[in-house]
Structure 1
Amino acid sequence: MAEGGGDQVPRAVFFRLFPSIAVPMFLAAVDQTIVATALPAIAADLGQVERVPWVVVSFLIATSVSAPIYGRLGDAYGRRRMLLGALAMLLVGSVLCAFAQSIETLSAARAIQGFGGGGLMTLSQALIGETIPPRQRGRFQGYLAAIFLCASTIGPLLGGLLAENFGWRSVFLVNLPLGVLAVLLALRLEKGRAPGGRFGAVLDLPGVAMFAVAAPAALLGLESLRHPTSSHLITAAVLLPLSVVLVWLLLKWEARVTAPLLPIALLRKPAVWMADGLALCHGATMISLIAFLPFYLQVVRGATPAESGLILLPMTGGIAVGALIAGRIMSRTGGLMTLPSVGMSCFALGLFGLAVALPVVPTNWLPVWFAVLSPMLGTVMPAVQTTVQMAAGGAQLGAAASSVALARSLGAAVGAALTGTILFAAAALIAGPGGMAAVVTLLESGPAGAATLSEQALAVARVDLASAFRVALAAIGSYAAIAAVLAWRNPQRRVE
C-alpha cells in the first residue's frame, strides 16, 4: 500500500481506523460551514443582524478552546473514550441549536457544538499519527483533509437547500443521523491503553481558565470595533488589551507547569510554530471566504441560498482535490513545504486580483475563478500535519495534533471576526450614516428587506456593500499572503 518508500499500512488497519475517524471528522467540519448559507434566513427570523456572525464565531471559539483540552485528555484517558464524549456533546448542541429562540441562545448552543467539534478534529488527527508511518502520513493526511474539505463543500450547499426548503432549524437536525453513524463507527476502534491519572494533574486547569477567557475577550473586542459608538470603542479598548495580557500570562504559566495545556517546548521549534502559523492563516482565509461569500452573493448579486451554495461548490471541491493531490505527491517525493509555498502565493495573488476586478466579473465566472485558485488552498493541511507530527515524535502526538487544530480553529475564529469587522467598518465609511441604514436592512432581511427599500436606495446600498466587500476580500488575501511567507520560511522541507 505504500508508495515512494515508507512502511506499508495493513489494509485491515486502514479499513478499521479510517472510516471510524472520517465520519466524526466530516461531522465536525460540516458544522463549521453548513450555517453559512443559512445565516440570512436566521437573521430574518431572529433579527439582530450585527450579532449573526457569532453563530459562526461562537462555534470557532469553542473549537479553539477545546482542541488542546482533548489533546491532553486523549493522551491520558484514551482517544476512543474521548471521541465518544465529543460526539455526545456535539449532538446535544445540535438539538439545542434547532430549538433556539434568539441569536444569543443559538450562539450558546453553537458553542456547545464547538466543544464537541474541537475534540473530533484533534482526536482524529492524533489517531492517524499514532497508526500511520511518517512517510505515508502525507497521503493519509491528504485523505483526512479531503474529508474535511468535502464537508466544507457540501456544507454551504446543504445548508442553503435545507434553509430554503425546510427552514433553518433543519440545518442542525440533519446532524442527528450522521452522529448516530459516527458513534457506531467509533465503537469499532480499539480502546487502547492510557496512563490515566488525577484529572487536575492531567489537565492544566489554570491554563484552561486563562485561555478560555483570553480567546473570547479578543473576539468580543474585535466585534466591538464594528460599531463607531463610544461605548463599543471603550469595550474594545478594555477587552483587546485584556486578551493580550492574558495570553502573555498564559505563556509564562505554561512554561512552568509539568503538564501544560499548550506544548510550549514543542511550539518553540521553528518548524512547528511556522507550521502552526501557516494553519492559522489558512483557517482564517478559508473560513472567511466560506462565511462571507454567501452574504455577498445573496445581498449584492441576488443569488438564492441554494444558488450561492452551488457557486461555492467549485471552490470547496477544488480545495479537497488539491489536498488529495498534495498528499500523494508528498508520499511519493518526500517534499513537504514546496507545494504550500507556491500554492498560497498564487492564491493570495488571485484574491488580490479578484478584489480589483470584482465589479466587472460576471456571477457565472466566479465559480470558474475559484475552481482555478482553490486547489492551491488545499496544499496546506497535509504538509502542516506531517511537519508538526515529525517534530513532535510519538510521545507528543496528542499535543502536536491539538496545536494544529488549535491554530486552525483560532485562525478561523479570529479571521471571521476580523473580516466581519473590516466589512462593517468599510461599509460604514463608504455608505455614511444615512446609507448604512439601507445596507443593514439589506443584510438583515435579504430579498425581504430589499422589498422595503426604494429602487434608488436598494441600488446604492448594493453598490456600497459591493465596495466594502472588495476591501474585505483584500484583507482575506493578506491572510493568504502571510501564510505563503511562513511556508517559504519553514525549515522542515522534506520527510524521509
Structure 2
Amino acid sequence: MTEPDDRSAEGRGGLNRASERGDDTSPDTAEARHRAFLRGFPAIALAIFVAAVDQTAAATALPAIAAEFAAVEQVSWVMVAYLVAGTCAAPAFGQLGDAFGRRRLLFVALGITFAGCLINAMAPSLAVLIGGRILQGIGGGALLTIAVSLIGEALPPRERGRFQGHIASIYASAATFGPVVGGFLTQHFGWRMIFLVLPPLALLAMALATRLPRQPPARQTRLRFDWLGLGLFLLVVAPALVALDQARRMDAATLPLAGALGLLAVAALVVLIAWEKRAPDPLLPIGLLTEPSIWRTNLLGACVFGALVGSIAFMPIFLQAVRGLSPATSGLVLLPLSVCGAVGAMFAGRMMLKTGRSMVWPGFGLTWAAAMLAAIALVAHVAPIWLLPVMLGATAVGFGTSFPVAQTTVQVAAGAARLGAAAASVQLSRNLGAATGTALLGAVLFGGLALAGGEVATLFSRVVAAPGLVATLPAEDAAGLKAALSAAFRAMFLTAAGFCAVAAVLSTRVPLRRI
C-alpha cells in the first residue's frame, strides 16, 4: 500500500475509490466525485419513487383486474408475486452490484421495470399479468437495494444518514401517492393505465443516472454467482410468503396448506444455511448476517415494518367497520401514518450528521411509537375522529427515526466491500418483517374474534369484503359486532406496540452506536 493515508481516509469516508486503481487519489478528485454524486442524486430519488409507486399502485386496481379476468380467488397473486420477486432480487442484485458496479446495475434494474410495466399494460390474461409483476418485483427490489448502496458508496457515513432521510421521505410520499393515483387512473382510464405511467419515469431516471459518477466495482475478483443459493432462497421465500398470506386469513380450509408450505420453507432454510457457509461466493454471507450490529439492526427493522405495514393493512377495516367512516375519509385519516414517517427519518438523518450518534434516535423514537400504539389501543374506539390522524402521525414520526439509522448502521458495520450485501439484508429483513408482522397481527385479530364466539367471525368476514354492511345490520347485531371488533383491534394494536417495544430494546443492544 503506497499511500496509506489517502486510502485510509477514503475507506472511512467512502468518497472515492480511485486510489484502489492507483490513480486520481487527490482530495480534489474526491470532492469532484462527491459533487458528481450530488448532481446524479435525482436519478436515485426518482428510482426510489418508481419502485415505491410500482409496489403500491396496483393494490387499488385489484378489484377491476379480478373483474376483467374473472379470477377473484387468484388475483392476490398480483401482489404476492411482486413481493416474492422483490425479496429474492434484493440479495441477488446486492451481490451483482458489488461485482459489476452499481451505476451499471441501476440501468439494468430500470430496464427490467420498464419491460414489466409494458407487459402488464398489454397483458391478455392474469397469468401474463403475474409474469409481468414478477419482472416488476425484480426491478423494484433491485432499485431499492442499488439506490441505497449508491449512497453508501459515494458519501461518508454521517452524511449518508441525511440522504437516507431524503430517501425515506421520497419512499413514504410515493407509497402514499401510489394507491391514490392507482385508484384515480383505474376509475377514469382503466387499470392498464397504471402500468403506462411508470415507463416514462423509468426512462427519465435512466437519463438522470448518466450524471452519476462512475465507480469501480467494490469487488476486484471474478464473481462466481451463487445460483444454487438463489434457488434455495426462492424455495424459502415463496412458500413462506404464501403460507403467511394463507395463515393470516384464519380459514380452516387453508391452514393445512399453509402449514405444509411453512415446513417446506423451514427445510429449505436449513439447506440454504448449510450451503451458504461453504459457497465460494455466497448470496447470503452468513458471517456478515451474524455480526451483532447487523443482525440486531435488521431484526429491529423487521419489527418496525411488521408493526407499520400490519397497522396500515388493518386500520381501514377498523375505521370503516368500527368507527363508520367512508373509504375516502379512512384514506385521509391514514395519510399521516404514511407521510409523517418522513419527518422522523429527516430528523434522525440530520441528527446523525450533526452528532455522529445513531441508535439513540430510534431508541427514543420507537419507545414513543410503542407508547402511542398502546394509547391508540385504549382510546381509538371512542376518541374524536380528528384525534386519530394526529395519533397516527405521531406514531409514524417514531417509526421514521429508525429508517435512515438502520441503513447507515448496517452499511458502516459491513464495510465498503460489502455495501450491496448490507443494503440487501436491510431490504430483505423489512420485507420479511412486513409479511410476518401482518400475518401475526391478523392472527391476533381473527383469534380475538373467534374467542368472541357466535356469528362475530362470520359477520367480520362479510364486513371485510363490504365494510358498509355494518350499517345495514340490526341494531343489536351491529352493537355486538362493534364491541367484539373493538376488543379484537385493541389486542392487535397492543401487539403492534409490543413489536415497537422489542425494536426499542434492540436499539440499545446494537454495539455500533457512533458513525
TM-score range, shorter chain: 0.7 to 0.9
Question: Residues 41 and 367 from structure 1, CA distance in 2 versus in 1: closer, same or farther, beyond 3 angstroms?
Answer: farther
Instruction: Provide the secondary structure at the position in 2 that maps to 1:202.
Output: coil
Shift of 1:364: 2.4
Aligned match for 1:67, one of 90, 114, 135: 90
Cα displacement string for residues 115-159 of structure 1 (whole angstroms, at most 9, x for unaligned residues): 111100000011111110122212222222222222233334434
The residue that corresponds to 1:174 in the other structure is 197
- Structure 2 residue 165 is the aligned partner of structure 1 residue 142: yes
The residue that corresponds to 2:405 in the other structure is 383
Cα displacement string for residues 401-448 of structure 1 (whole angstroms, at most 9, x for unaligned residues): 11111112222232233334444444444464x44443333322444x
The residue that corresponds to 1:394 in the other structure is 416
Q: Supply the distance in 2 between the matched residues of 1:103 and 1:365 (Cα, whole angstroms).
A: 42
User: Is the 8 Å Cα contact of residues 57 and 413 (structure 1) preserved in structure 2?
Assistant: no
Q: Supply the distance in 2 between the matched residues of 1:156 and 1:320 (Cα, whole angstroms).
A: 18
The residue that corresponds to 1:79 in the other structure is 102
* TM-score, normalising length: structure 2: 0.83
Instruction: Report 1 or 2 for greater relative contact order, CA contacts < 8 Å, sequence distance ≥ 6.
Output: 1
Shift of 1:329: 0.6
Instruction: Provide the secondary structure at the position in 2 that maps to 1:489.
Output: coil
Q: Which deviates the most, 125-134 or 452-461? A: 452-461
Aligned match for 1:441, one of 462, 467, 486: 462
The residue that corresponds to 1:485 in the other structure is 505
Question: Residues 474 and 34 from structure 1, CA distance in 2 versus in 1: closer, same or farther, beyond 3 angstroms?
Answer: farther
Aligned match for 2:136, one of 107, 113, 137: 113
Question: Residues 132 and 339 from structure 1, CA distance in 2 versus in 1: closer, same or farther, beyond 3 angstroms?
Answer: same
Question: Residues 282 and 229 from structure 1, CA distance in 2 versus in 1: closer, same or farther, beyond 3 angstroms?
Answer: closer
Q: Which amino acid aligns with 2:108?
A: G
User: Is the 8 Å Cα contact of residues 76 and 202 (structure 1) preserved in structure 2?
Assistant: no
Q: Which amino acid aligns with 1:281?
A: C
Instruction: Provide the secondary structure at the position in 1 that maps to 2:340.
Output: helix
User: Is the 8 Å Cα contact of residues 47 and 444 (structure 1) preserved in structure 2?
Assistant: no
Instruction: Provide the secondary structure at the position in 2 that maps to 1:265.
Output: helix
- Structure 2 residue 369 is the aligned partner of structure 1 residue 344: no
Q: What's the C-alpha RMSD, in Å, of the aligned pairs?
A: 3.3
Question: Which of the pair has more CA radius of gyration?
Answer: 2
User: Is the 8 Å Cα contact of residues 153 and 312 (structure 1) preserved in structure 2?
Assistant: no
Unaligned runs of 5+ in 1: none
Shift of 1:344: 0.8
* TM-score, normalising length: structure 1: 0.86
Q: Which deviates the most, 384-393 or 119-128? A: 384-393
Aligned-residue identity in percent? 44
Aligned pair count reads: 487
Question: Residues 43 and 355 from structure 1, CA distance in 2 versus in 1: closer, same or farther, beyond 3 angstroms?
Answer: farther
- Structure 2 residue 178 is the aligned partner of structure 1 residue 128: no
The residue that corresponds to 1:308 in the other structure is 330
User: Is the 8 Å Cα contact of residues 156 and 312 (structure 1) preserved in structure 2?
Assistant: no
Instruction: Provide the secondary structure at the position in 2 that maps to 1:257.
Output: coil
Q: Supply the distance in 2 between the matched residues of 1:439 and 1:107 (Cα, whole angstroms).
A: 29
Q: Supply the distance in 2 between the matched residues of 1:422 and 1:107 (Cα, whole angstroms).
A: 30
Q: Which deviates the most, 416-425 or 144-153? A: 416-425
Q: Supply the distance in 2 between the matched residues of 1:343 and 1:234 (Cα, whole angstroms).
A: 40
Aligned match for 2:395, one of 373, 376, 395: 373
Instruction: Provide the secondary structure at the position in 1 that maps to 2:490.
Output: helix
Aligned match for 1:237, one of 238, 252, 259: 259
The residue that corresponds to 1:469 in the other structure is 489
The residue that corresponds to 2:272 in the other structure is 250
Unaligned runs of 5+ in 2: 1-11, 16-29
Question: Residues 420 and 228 from structure 1, CA distance in 2 versus in 1: closer, same or farther, beyond 3 angstroms?
Answer: closer
Aligned match for 1:283, one of 305, 313, 322: 305
